[in-house]
């Protein structure tokens, strides 16, 4: 597939039942876990460091996922890690950060180098997480993102519902193509 490409000797590893839309681009050292989905116009570029996306996670339309290379400014660089059961909304930018399991990253949000979003967090649409910031569980909103409150029981349930729903939808797309 032209949209899934090797770079510098590294080839994307795509798990079982993963939907990658033909208009999305996945390049280099990228691992996508089983049941995940990558939607139209997404760019996942593991060309200068590694990207790992867990199982049943969805990367929605127009999102950009990239990394930071190792240099004298940052000897380790910043890989990108997205946990299991994560919903990444439309037009999100994730750059060299870590997103824990069972998170929802709202549309248009930006999460920068070295930032960590811990499990069971919702980051509101349009929010900015500055480099190096750590967000615990709960609802976060704003630019820069600030904690608003604990998640309600219904919101916690929605995190898994959203992940499972996109896993089913991705499988339906796969079934249409195969």
Q: Residue 152 sits in which domain range?
A: 4-177
Alpha-carbon gap, residue 178 to 174, rounded angstroms: 6
pLDDT value, residue 2: 81
pLDDT above 60: residue 88? yes
Share above pLDDT 70 across residues of the chain, in percent, rounded to a whole number: 99
The CATH number that applies at residue 76 is 2.160.10.10
Residue 177: what pLDDT? 82
Assess whether pLDDT exceeds 70 at residue 1. no
pLDDT tens digits, one per residue of 23-66: 999 999 999 999 999 999 999 999 999 999 999 999 999 999 99
State residue 130 phi and psi, 5-degree precision. -65, 155
Tell me what pLDDT residue 175 has.
Answer: 93
Q: What is the pTM of this model?
A: 0.96
Quick one: pLDDT band at residue 151, thresholds 50, 70, 90?
very high
Region 2-11: mean pLDDT is 94
Strands, E assignment, 6-103: 13-14, 19-20, 25-32, 37-38, 43-53, 58-59, 64-66, 80-82, 87-88, 93-95, 98-99
Question: Residue 171 CB: number of other CB atoms within 10 A?
Answer: 15
Q: 96: Cβ–Cβ under 8 A, 6 or more apart, which residues?
A: 49, 66, 67, 68, 77, 78, 79, 80, 112, 113, 114
Q: What phi and psi, each to the nearest 5 degrees, are found at residue 13?
A: -110, 115
pLDDT of 111 over the 60 cut: yes
The mean pLDDT value of the chain amounts to 96
| 101 neighbors 54 (Cβ within 8 angstroms) | yes
Return the pLDDT at 45. Answer: 98
Question: How many domains does one find in the chain?
Answer: 1
Mean pLDDT of 118-125: 98
Pairing state of beta strands 80-82 and 93-95? Answer: unpaired
144 three-class SS: coil
């Amino acid at each position: 597939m032209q949209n899934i490409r090797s770079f510098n000797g590294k080839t994307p590893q795509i798990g079982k039942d993963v939907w990658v839309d033909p208009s999305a681009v996945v390049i280099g050292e990228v691992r996508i876990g089983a049941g995940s989905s990558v939607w139209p116009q997404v760019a996942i570029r593991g060309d200068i460091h590694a990207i790992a996306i867990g199982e049943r996670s969805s990367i929605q339309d127009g999102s950009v996922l990239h990394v930071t290379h190792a240099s004298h400014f940052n000897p380790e660089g910043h890989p990108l890690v997205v946990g299991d059961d994560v919903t990444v909304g439309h037009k999100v930018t994730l750059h060299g950060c870590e997103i824990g399991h069972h998170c929802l990253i709202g549309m248009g949000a930006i999460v920068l180098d070295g930032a960590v979003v811990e499990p069971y967090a919702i980051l509101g649409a349009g929010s900015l997480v500055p480099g190096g910031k750590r967000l615990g569980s709960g609802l976060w909103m704003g630019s820069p993102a600030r904690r608003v409150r604990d998640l309600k029981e219904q919101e916690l349930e929605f995190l898994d519902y959203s992940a499972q729903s996109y896993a089913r939808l991705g499988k339906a797309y796969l079934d249409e193509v195969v």
